[in-house]
Amino acid sequence: MANLIEEARQAVDALLEKAFQKAIAAGEFEPADFPSGKVDIPKDSINGDYAANHAMAGAKSLKLPPRKIAETLAACLELEGSFFQKVEIAGPGFINFFLSSTWYGKVLETVTAEGVDYGRSGEGKGERVMVEFVSANPTGPMTIGNARGGVLGDALASVMDLAGYNVSREFYVNDAGNQVDLFGKSIEARYLQLVRGEDAVEFPENGYHGNDIRELAAALHDADGDKYISMDSDERCKIFIQFGLTRNTELMKQHLERYRINFDTWFFESALHDSGYVAETVKLLENSGCTYEQDGALWLRNTDFGADKDEVLRRENGFYTYYAVDIAYHRNKFIERGFDRVIDVWGADHHGHAIRFAASMTAPALGLKDKKLDFLIMQMVRLVRGDEVIKVSKRTGKALTLNDLMDEIGVDACRFFFNAKPDTHLVFDLDLAIRQDSENPVYYVQYAHARICSLIANLVSDGHAVPAGGINSQLLSSKQEQELIKQLAAFTEEVRLAARDYDPSRINHYVVELSARFHRFYASCHIKDAEPELLSARLLLCDCTRRVIANALAVIGVSAPEKM
RNA sequence: GCGCCAGUAGCUCAGUAGGAUAGAGCAACUGCCUUCUAAGCAGUAGGUCAGGGGUUCGAAUCCCUUCUGGCGUGCCA
């Protein structure tokens, strides 16, 4: 549960404050408050491992030039026994701290002691969080957009779990509404075409043209033949919808499992209708006076809550709109199920809705004042093949499915590739994806892991053992060794930031950098032929690296092979 | 029109709760395997951080503005 970066930062701050008080006592500074500065990790370690800007921040209150303040503070510092071995003054007045072997040793001890839990922190304080993601329409197979939303939501949930939140993953199944009716009519048309011939039956306008619809119709026809012909269309569609939704939902579960996503709950929209919860929620809004009737429909006066337009809750025909259902659904998440925070992972094509919807959720009648609703809006995936842009649409059935994609590039590459920063437009080149082999960074990372596993196995078979601790960390003195250890130490902090920013792609970059540092270490430091004490220390360093790569890959759902 | 997101090396992208000389991978070029996995390492070359203003000790990062691209602005979800 240790955040080693945070500990080092706090250590710098504490050392400086102590030096500051000492300087005042010695009459070097006029009495003043300790200037609040920032402790950063410089890009170039020539500027130290940690850099403090307190001297610049305190220039005004102390009425002294920053460099002078820095020099005085540095002179008063007591580094004996601390995480640091020396400081330097540089640039406009930075105080640069250089880590000591005490700290490097502590990092390896911590990783060893925490094992699979290394990276975990109590940052989230057990706050109950729901991440709702994918939630693909059950009217067809999942697409490449769901591939992105899937890893994003899943990895976000993992990162938040590790950061100490109590996280639940949910898939919302839209098994009601217009789209579902259209789905039924599409299957019906394909079924009738099977019986009466393709040209004898008209396909509904805006229907779902995908092959999966034909397959559903064929499955019905294979099983029950012409049995549904004589039936009333409404009744027939009801049966077809039931059949199609059940089958599609089952398929989505299978494919998501293959994609290594396991939802805690599958929540069905129909349940909100059947239990009267939608009606109850709308009534609540109606009673609070923030609705009005116009053109026979019931409207929510959303402009009262800061939105740019009002919304229809109930149509003239008495049916509730998706908007009303969404409000009910989110009220259910917070009120009935008690989540403190809900994060919805939505595509950018819903961002307008997200803004207006967030406004609606502040309606006092809903009683969600202390609750937090956040949206993780991910930009669209642009599908291209070389220079050609491929237009995808579930309706026209031209989409590349998630399952096809997993067949082509594998689950690991797929998860790694789609775990990109949410707010960048992702260009997915099919040509590139298909020949994505050793060019893919996922292999670079997996190779590092496999390399370490093999290395350790060889040493163990030579009679060496991974030490449980107690190594001489002073021996790990090369630049490559120290850079590697610093990266190991950063994992917990990286997880914290990924959770804070809702950006799990940070873990990708982290683990690529960690692997790079390992490869550099490996190329410059031999282990097998090192002196016993050094061999032991390096062996532990390798083992810790293996551990952290595995932990990081686990967070983003990518496998860590022992052999490649 | 208004709103959201983006624009960084030839390509794909890091870096954005202000920090020091803007980084990596791919592609190009040069080295390194009879010794722990060469799916690797070391090096060369590549930049008006879209343009312009501002804020300050300091701006790719914050503010304003222009341009370009994607998306939204449904009684679809």
Residues 510-539 of chain A with CB under 7 A from strand B are 512, 516, 519-520, 522-529
A295 CB closer than 7 A to any strand B atom? yes
Mean pLDDT of all residues belonging to chain A = 92
Q: A468 exposed, middle or buried (CB, 10 Å; 0-12, 13-18, 19+)?
A: exposed
Alpha helices in A317-440 (DSSP H): 322-331, 351-360, 402-409, 411-418, 430-434
User: If we measure between CA atoms, which residue out of A97, A102, A92, A98 comes closest to residue A69?
Assistant: A92
A48 CB closer than 7 A to any strand B atom? yes
Among positive and negative, which fits the CA dihedral A359, A361, A367, A372?
negative
A432 CB closer than 7 A to any strand B atom? no
CA distance A31 to A19: 13
CA distance A165 to A16: 33
Q: For residue A411, give both structure tokens.
A: 């689950």
- Taking residues A385-396, what's their average pLDDT? 66
- ipTM score: 0.95
The nucleotides of chain B lying under 7 Å from a protein CB are: 2-7, 12-17, 19-27, 35-42, 57, 69-77
pLDDT at A393 over 70: no
The amino acid at residue A562 is E
Q: What is the pLDDT of residue A180?
A: 95
CB A453 within 8 A of CB A546: yes
Question: What Å value separates CA A43 and C1' B43?
Answer: 21
The amino acid at residue A499 is A
**Per-residue model confidence as pLDDT tens digits over A132-159:** 999 999 999 998 899 999 999 999 999 9
pLDDT at A394 over 70: no
pLDDT at A395 over 60: no
The region of weakest confidence among A62-71, A220-229, A331-340 is A62-71
A321 CB closer than 7 A to any strand B atom? yes
A369 CB closer than 7 A to any strand B atom? no
Question: What Å value separates CA A511 and C1' B38?
Answer: 21
Q: What is the CA radius of gyration of chain A?
A: 30
pLDDT at A431 over 90: no
| SS3 category, A308 | coil
**Per-residue model confidence as pLDDT tens digits over A165-204:** 999 999 999 999 989 999 999 999 999 999 999 999 999 9
Question: What Å value separates CA A306 and C1' B56?
Answer: 35
Question: What Å value separates CA A378 and C1' B52?
Answer: 31
Residues 127-146 of chain A with CB under 7 A from strand B are 137
Using H for helix, E for strand and C for coil, what is the string for A501-532? Answer: CCCCHHHHHHHHHHHHHHHHHHHHCCCCCCCH
Looking from the CA of A482 toward its CB, the CA atoms found within 13 Å total 15
A352 CB closer than 7 A to any strand B atom? yes
Q: For residue A131, give both structure tokens.
A: 């991440």
CA distance A224 to A455: 60
CB A300 within 8 A of CB A309: no
Q: What is the pLDDT of residue A90?
A: 84
- Taking residues A20-34, what's their average pLDDT? 90
Residue nearest to nucleotide B41 (CA to C1'): A523
User: If we measure between CA atoms, which residue out of A501, A504, A500 comes closest to residue A149?
Assistant: A504
Q: For residue A278, give both structure tokens.
A: 């939608």
A451 CB closer than 7 A to any strand B atom? yes
Q: For residue A283, give both structure tokens.
A: 């009534």
A65 CB closer than 7 A to any strand B atom? no
Q: What is the pLDDT of residue A397?
A: 59
Q: For residue A447, give both structure tokens.
A: 């190779």
Quote the longest CA-to-CA distance of chain A: 101
pTM of the complete model = 0.95
CA distance A219 to A212: 10
pLDDT at A522 over 70: yes
List strand residue ranges (DSSP E) for A33-121, in order: 39-40, 50-52, 84-90, 94-99
CA distance A342 to A264: 14
A500: phi then psi, degrees, rounded to nearest 5: -60, -45
- Taking residues A435-444, what's their average pLDDT? 76
**Per-residue model confidence as pLDDT tens digits over A454-491:** 999 999 999 999 998 889 999 999 999 999 999 999 99
Reading across the β-sheet that carries A426-429, which strands appear in turn? A388-389, A381-385, A426-429
Report which DSSP code applies to A332. Answer: I
Question: What Å value separates CA A478 and C1' B32?
Answer: 21
Measuring CA to CA, how many Å separate A330 from each of A341, A368, A384, A465? 11, 10, 36, 54
A479 CB closer than 7 A to any strand B atom? no
Please tell me the total number of residues recorded for chain A in this structure: 564
